[in-house]
């Protein structure tokens, strides 16, 4: 993979092992480029720490035999340099992945590292919009656009986020070949994984309205959604349109394009949607990610309860 050069601060054999593991993540497990790069930074920093902490270069077999004391020292060092609990938990996950791979290659016992617990942190819950607010955004987002076709474009994109639960990157990756929208879209999400997403009539109609007004030739191989000069639309334009719409509507700063995707999932769950089905629609690799929406739903119920419950 391009960009995965040898780390000059690591022993050559260990640096080569790190590159080989990262290449496996990308090729066999479909890890996204950003994930691979984050893991490279985390594990390289860990290996450099071990080399200094243990007073010399570490071989691949030695990496799998790290003690609890070594691991605690590394985590303390990471926190001392300002790494958050969430980021350290991610780094530990990367370290465990590399260590498991190294242990498998060398036949060593990596139980100490693989059983280590990461720091606790409070997972941020998604902040969905209410159903009324989501509908208002779809109506309002194109109101201050300079041209009718740009208003239709912004409305169509917002409708895809809320109506289909797409990430903004997924909506903007659609090409002219995707119009008219079919009953089911094949969406390529994180890690290059594809999933089927049913298309609701409102989304198909919103995209059709945009296409009818768009002044550019929407060829099958080029972006469906265009900027004012004809190139692919910049996500920042949609974020800005959403920001202006939320200010006009008096909505909180959490009313972002991604909040529309959160709202899609939360409203489906509130309507009795199956958690596994919602996981598939969102393209989450793990059900635990989708389960965050059950906490959101419970939190909303408690909020209503607190406001409505009579107090003596």
Distance from C-alpha of 118 to C-alpha of 91, rounded to nearest angstrom:
9
Q: What is the pLDDT of residues 85-132, one digit of tens each?
A: 888 888 888 888 898 888 888 888 888 888 888 776 555 555 788 889
Contacts of residue 203, Cβ cutoff 8 Å, sequence gap at least 6: 156, 159, 160, 163, 164, 181
What is the reported pLDDT for 25? 81
Enumerate domains of the chain plus CATH numbers.
12-114 (1.10.150.130), 131-307 (1.10.443.10)
- Max CA separation in the chain (angstroms): 71
Q: Residue 2: its pLDDT value, please? A: 43
CA–CA gap between residue 157 and residue 12 (Å, rounded): 48
Q: What pLDDT, on a 0 to 100 scale, did the predictor assign at position 298?
A: 46
Which residues, at least 6 apart from 82, have a Cβ–Cβ distance to it below 8 Å?
Answer: none
Reading the block at residue 95, the tokens are 């370290």
State residue 284's pLDDT score. Answer: 53
Picking from 301, 270, 279, the residue whose alpha carbon sits closest to that of residue 165 is: 279
What tokens were used for 210? 């945009």
Question: By mean pLDDT, which of 60-64, 67-71, 276-280, 303-307 is the weakest?
Answer: 303-307
Q: What does pLDDT average to over the chain?
A: 81
* The predicted structure's pLDDT at residue 272: 64
pLDDT value for 195: 84
- Matching residue, tokens 């950003």: 34
Instruction: For residue 242, count other CB atoms closer than 10 A to its CB.
Output: 25
pLDDT the model gives residue 305: 43
pTM greater than 0.85:
no
Of the pLDDT bands very low, low, confident and very high (cuts 50, 70, 90), residue 280 is low
Contact call for residues 83 and 77 (beta carbons, < 8 A): no
- Known catalytic residues are 167, 190, 258, 261, 284, 293
Percent of the chain with pLDDT over 90: 30
Output the pLDDT for position 50. 84
Query: Tokens 């100490």 appear where?
Result: 112
pLDDT band at 7 (very low <50, low <70, confident <90, very high): low
Q: Among 145-149, 185-189, 209-213, which stretch is predicted with the lowest mean pLDDT?
A: 185-189
Cβ distance 67 to 111 under 8 Å? no
Q: Which residue has the higher pLDDT, 222 or 307?
A: 222
**What phi and psi, each to the nearest 5 degrees, are found at residue 278?**
-65, -40
Per-residue model confidence as pLDDT tens digits over 24-43: 887 766 667 778 888 899 99
* CA angle, residues 98, 104, 105, in degrees to nearest 5: 90
Please compute the mean of the pLDDT values over residues 184-205 and round it to a whole number: 85
CA distance 55 to 35: 30
Task: Tell me the average pLDDT across 36-59.
Answer: 82
d(CA 62, CA 17): 13
223 vs 83, residue with greater confidence: 223
In terms of Cβ atoms closer than 10 Å to its own Cβ (0-12, 13-18, 19+), residue 201 is: exposed
Which one, of 187, 217, 184, lies nearest residue 198 by Cα?
A: 184
Phi then psi for 217, rounded to 5 degrees? -80, 110
Given pLDDT bands bounded at 50, 70 and 90, which one contains residue 268?
confident
Is 197 within 8 Å of 164 (Cβ atoms)? yes
Q: C-alpha distances in angstroms, 266 versus 20, 47, 124, 288, 297?
A: 40, 41, 15, 15, 7
Among 117-121, 254-258, 266-270, the range of highest mean pLDDT: 254-258
What does the alpha-carbon distance between residue 278 and residue 35 come to, in Å, rounded to a whole number?
A: 23
**3-state DSSP: the chain helix, strand, coil percent, rounded to 5?**
60, 5, 35
List pLDDT tens digits, range 143-161: 989 899 999 999 999 999 9
């Amino acid at each position: 993979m391009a960009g995965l050069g040898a780390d000059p601060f690591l022993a050559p054999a260990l640096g080569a092992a790190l590159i080989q593991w990262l290449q496996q993540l990308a090729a066999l497990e479909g890890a996204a480029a950003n994930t691979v790069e984050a893991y490279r930074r985390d594990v390289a920093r860990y290996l450099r720490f071990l080399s200094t902490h243990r007073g010399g270069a570490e071989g691949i077999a030695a990496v799998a035999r790290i003690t609890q004391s070594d691991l605690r020292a590394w985590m303390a060092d990471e926190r001392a340099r300002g790494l958050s609990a969430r980021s350290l938990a991610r780094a530990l996950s990367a370290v465990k992945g590399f260590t498991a791979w190294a242990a498998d290659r060398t036949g060593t016992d990596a139980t100490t590292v693989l059983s280590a617990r990461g720091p606790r942190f409070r997972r941020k819950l998604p902040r969905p919009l209410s159903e009324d607010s989501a509908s208002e955004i779809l109506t309002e987002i194109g109101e201050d656009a300079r041209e009718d076709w740009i208003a239709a474009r912004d409305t169509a994109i917002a409708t895809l986020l809320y109506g289909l639960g797409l990430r903004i990157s997924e909506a903007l990756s659609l090409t002219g070949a995707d119009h008219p929208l079919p009953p089911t879209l094949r969406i390529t999400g994180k890690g290059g994984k594809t999933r089927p997403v049913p298309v609701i009539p409102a989304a198909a109609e919103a995209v059709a309205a945009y296409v009818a007004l768009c002044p550019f030739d929407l060829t099958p191989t080029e972006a469906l959604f265009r900027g004012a000069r004809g190139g692919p639309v910049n996500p920042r334009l949609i974020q800005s349109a959403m920001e202006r719409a939320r200010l006009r509507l008096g909505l909180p700063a959490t009313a972002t394009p991604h909040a529309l995707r959160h709202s899609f999932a939360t409203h489906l769950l509130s309507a009795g949607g199956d958690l596994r089905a919602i996981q598939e629609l969102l393209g989450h690799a793990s059900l635990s990610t989708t389960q965050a929406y059950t906490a959101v739903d419970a939190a909303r119920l408690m909020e209503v309860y607190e406001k409505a419950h009579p107090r003596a």
